[in-house]
Amino acid sequence: MGSGEIGGRQVVLAKPVTFMNLSGDAVAPLYRKHADGPGDLVVLHDDLDLPVGAVRLKRGGGTGGHNGLRSLKERLGTADFLRIRVGIGRPPAGVDPADYVLTPPAPELRGAFDAAVAAAGEAFADIARLGFDKAMTRWNAKAREDGKQCKAPPESPGGNILLAPGASSGGSISRKEARSQDDTDEV
């Protein structure tokens, strides 16, 4: 864990070591400690329904089959947390979505993924500085203006999820899927 400041707000960074589908197990205790409610939790996650590299902000919603979001909803008792969605596109025909999200991106798409991760970080900083609604208006309008539709990658960025509670408490939790075969209860 680490802490810092963004836009005058204190943030806490943590890297859970649970697998993606157990995200809620790692986040729930941190959420209870640092957040006053779902509006204080910003979850950064990959999204099959967005083109490669697209970044969108969203308040609440369903899980869309995303196991990390499903785990968060189950453990937190709500899906009303704030989201920064990073597009990974749809898998090619015949490729299982579960395999697709666990595979590193193709080399020719790495730049788009790296740019999207950097943009997601900027979006989070905007949330800390401006508040979620203003940041969402800015980022989603920017996405509409750009209007760039990227082709779906042959491979995905690898099923990562970053979690960041923020609004009231200013906390931030960063989570990247553990790649170990030995899944522990450590956070």
Mean pLDDT for 108-132 is 92
Mean pLDDT for 43-66 is 93
Q: Considering the chain, what percentage of its residues have pLDDT values greater than 90?
A: 42
Alpha helices (runs of H) in 42-109, residue ranges in sequence order: 67-76, 97-101
Q: Which residue has the higher pLDDT, 16 or 39?
A: 39
Mean pLDDT for 93-108 is 89
pTM of the model: 0.75
Could you tell me which of 168, 184, 162 has the C-alpha nearest to residue 14? 162
pLDDT in tens, 157-183: 333 334 443 333 333 333 333 223 333
Q: 86 CB contacts (<8 Å, ≥6 apart)?
A: 44, 45, 46, 47, 50, 53, 54, 55, 116, 117, 120, 157
| pLDDT at res. 112 | 93
